[in-house]
Each structure stands twice: as structure tokens, then as C-alpha cells.
Structure 1
Amino acid sequence: MAQIKRTPLADQAADLLLAKIRSKQWSLGAKLPGETTLATQLGVGRSTIREAIRQLAGKGVLETRQGAGVFVTALDITEEWDTVLQRAGIVAVIEARIAIEAEAATYAAERRTPQALRAIRKALKDRQKDHENTESYVDADMRFHRAIVEAADNPVLLELFDSFVPRLRQAMIEMLRLGRSLAENQDHNAHADLAEAIANRDGRSAYELSRTHLTALKGALQ
């Protein structure tokens, strides 16, 4: 026989506090009332309020500052990044990729080392080769773009790019299998020009070339 599970009071209190935050009763950066006031408002004990605050602090919504109080640091619980990407449409992912990679191309042109440039050129050469299947071609393309982001020498941008790869890879494979792609020569030239702009430390051209190429890719995917 199934048993009714009782939700702990602290969990209920955390849900109520989160509901107040979501409804904008407290704005971002606002200080929450004291434990006694909150306990009275929610009809629970102070220890329950402390546990509820601890839960929401662990989720990034609240922050306890020693001697100052409890403050709102986010207006909702942030979803896991993988979940967001899985649910997002591929066009939205490409638009985010444009924002990341165009800036990364600029930084790559400014910061690339001789070693990083060699990696970009090797990835470009590998991308030109005949590949046995669609998957290997897409993987070669991803390696080229990753080499550019890596040359930007910004670990946050690289982490963001890497998080996109699984979602992008599948979309690219599906696009190519459906026969939807950019003209081969035009596509290769776009990648070669981007690599050359980075080699010449031309940040402005690298930015524009990256943005133009990815915008065309977005159009092909729509």
C-alpha cells in the first residue's frame, strides 16, 4: 500500500520563500526580513527558516552575509546548463554560439601564440580532407572552431563552447544528412579567411568573418 509522503517543513518554507522572490516581493539584492519576522509570516520555527535559507543559498538564490543579513542573489533557481541546451532550439544555440565565437575570434587574433596558430592551421587542413562519413567531417569542423576559441586564452569561453558541442554536433550531422549545407567552396574559403585573419592579428576581420559564417550557418539550419 502506497504511503503519503510528508514534505519536510523546511522544504515547504523554502518553496514559500522562493515563491515570494519569484513574485518580486523582494527584488534582486534586497535584504530579507529577520528570522523572527519570517518565522511569524510563514508560521514555522526559526530553525526551519534557517534550514530553508540554507537550501536556497545552496541553489544560489540567497546569500548569508556575516553581520549583515540574508540577501537575494537570484530571482529563481538556475536550471542545469545541459538541460537548458537540450530544450533550446538549435537556432537559439547558434545565436549564442555567434556571440561567443565572434568575440573569441577577436581575442584569438590578439592573443594567439605560434603554437595556437599551428593548431588552428592543422585543424583547418584536417577539415579539408575527405572524410569517411558525416560524423568525422562534423568532428573535424568542431575541432577547427574549438582551436580558435582555445587560442582566445579565455577558459570561460572555452568551457561555454565545449558545453555546446554535443547539441551542435547532432544538429550539424542531421543538417548534412538532409543535404542542407553551405556551398562547399564558399564554406572552405570562409574558414580559411578566418584562420588568416587570426594569423595576421586582425581582430576586426576575424570578428566579422566569424559572425558572417555562423549567421549563414544559422540560415542553413532554419
Structure 2
Amino acid sequence: MSLIVKRSLVYQAVEQLRERIAQGAWAIGQRLPTEPELALELGISRNTVREAMRVLAFSGLVEIRQGDGSYLRTVQDPLQAVLALSRCSLEHAREARHILEAEAIGLAAQRCTEADLVQLRAALVQSGEHFHGDLQAYLEADMVFHQRLVDAAHNPALSELYRYFSGMVRAAVEQNMQHAPGCQATFDLHGQIVEALAQHDPALAKRLTRALIES
């Protein structure tokens, strides 16, 4: 019973803090009040405040900096975006990939560095080792590869968006591979995309990415 009560108090604290964030109590990047200050203001214990802040940090609303305090990262709760993505159909995910992933990789073809290419080739080797083997191991490695492709665009906003979206990408790839054996020609598209980046050819990179999404 005491555990249920504790969870209830933490939930109430989280909701109060979310409401204040939505109302503009603090600006993005601003340091939030300390745990004792929030505990006094909300009429709860410091431990409850600490647990509530951990929940908000996990959802991406705040950033906890050890020894410095907690800072507001965004006023839009990323957790709600993740929940919305989880309800998307695979067709919606495919459409979103064309807009987000293909365009991001087009940018990556313009901006990628030699260090990016080294990391991409290493990730490709890792995923290739599992392509005809363990599906879950392949999916883990493939998601690392795709995230590095987007990261090569050197746009933090796109990278962060793709991290939230990658769960839907994984679900789509998993469904395709469960219904049909891994096609080598499909896997080869990954390497061709990397080479398009190495040639700094955005049009080719986007064309190959769209072919991969439709495969």
C-alpha cells in the first residue's frame, strides 16, 4: 500500500510540474528551482520531487546536470510524441520515412566527413554480420547504421527527431523481414547509400534511400 501511495504522489507531482511547464513557468534552458524549493512549493517531500524530476528527465522534458541542477529542455513533452508514433500505421511510417529519412540523408551527402564515413562503414559491417542470422541482432545493428546516416547530416534537430522515430522504422523493417527472407539486393542498397555519401551526391543518396524504404 505504501508503494502505491508513493507512486500516486510522484504521479501527482509530475502532472503539476508538467502543467507549470506548459503554462510557461520557466523558459527553455532555464534552471528549475531546487528540490527543497519545489518540495516546499508543492507541499511534498524532497524524495517525491526527486522521483518526479527523474520521470521528467526520462521523458525528455528536463535535463538533470549532476552537481548543477535541473534545466528545462523543451515545453513540448517528447513522451507524447513517442506515444503518438507508437499508434502510427506502417503506411504512415513509410510516408514519414520518405520525408524525414530521405531528405536527411540527402543533406548527409553534402555534409558528411571522413569520420562519418568510417563510422558508417563500421556499422554496415556490424549489421552485415547478422543479416542472414539473428533477426533481433540485425535490427539493433541496422538501427545504429540508420541513425549514423541521419547524424551525418550534422543537424541536431533531425538527429533527435529520428531517435524518436526509429522505433517505427525498426517495426517496418522487422515486419518486412518476417514475411520474406533477407534479400541481398536490399542489403546492398545500404552500402550504395554510403558510397553516394562518399561521392557527395545528394540526388543519388535520396534515390537509393527511397528505393530502400520501398523494398
- TM-score by length of structure 1 reads 0.58
- The equivalent of 1:169 in structure 2 is 170
Against the structure 1 CA distance between its residues 163 and 59, is the aligned structure 2 distance closer, same or farther, given a 3 Å change threshold? farther
Aligned-pair CA distance for 1:107 = 1.1
Matched residue type, 1:116: D
Indicate the SS of the match to 2:130: coil
Aligned-pair CA distance for 1:56 = 11
- The equivalent of 1:34 in structure 2 is none
After superposition, give the CA deviation of every residue in 1:4-53 in whole Å (9 maximum; x if it has no partner).
xxxxxxxxxxxxxxxxxxxxxxxxxxxxxxxxxxxxxxxxxxxxxxxxxx
State whether residues 139 and 174 of structure 2, in contact with CA within 8 Å, keep that contact through their aligned partners in structure 1.
yes
Matched residue type, 2:101: E
Q: How does 1:1-222 map to 2 (within 5 A)?
A: 58=22, 80-130=80-130, 132-177=133-178, 179-180=179-180, 184-216=183-215
Structure-1 separation of matches of 2:200 and 2:176? 33
Matched residue type, 2:141: A
- The equivalent of 1:8 in structure 2 is none
The Cα RMSD (Å) is 2.6
State whether residues 112 and 151 of structure 1, in contact with CA within 8 Å, keep that contact through their aligned partners in structure 2.
yes
Structure-2 separation of matches of 1:205 and 1:59? 46
Aligned-pair CA distance for 1:169 = 2.2
Structure 1 gaps of 5+ residues are 1-54, 61-77, 217-222
Against the structure 1 CA distance between its residues 114 and 93, is the aligned structure 2 distance closer, same or farther, given a 3 Å change threshold? same
After superposition, give the CA deviation of every residue in 1:133-162 in whole Å (9 maximum; x if it has no partner).
211111111111111100000111111111
State whether residues 90 and 171 of structure 1, in contact with CA within 8 Å, keep that contact through their aligned partners in structure 2.
yes
Structure-2 separation of matches of 1:207 and 1:150? 15
Greater radius of gyration (CA): 1
Structure-2 separation of matches of 1:106 and 1:169? 21
Structure-2 separation of matches of 1:204 and 1:143? 23
Structure-1 separation of matches of 2:190 and 2:151? 16
The list of structure 1 runs, each at least 4 consecutive aligned residues, that deviate by more than 3 angstroms after superposition, is: none
Aligned-pair CA distance for 1:185 = 1.9
Aligned-pair CA distance for 1:165 = 1.9
- TM-score by length of structure 2 reads 0.60
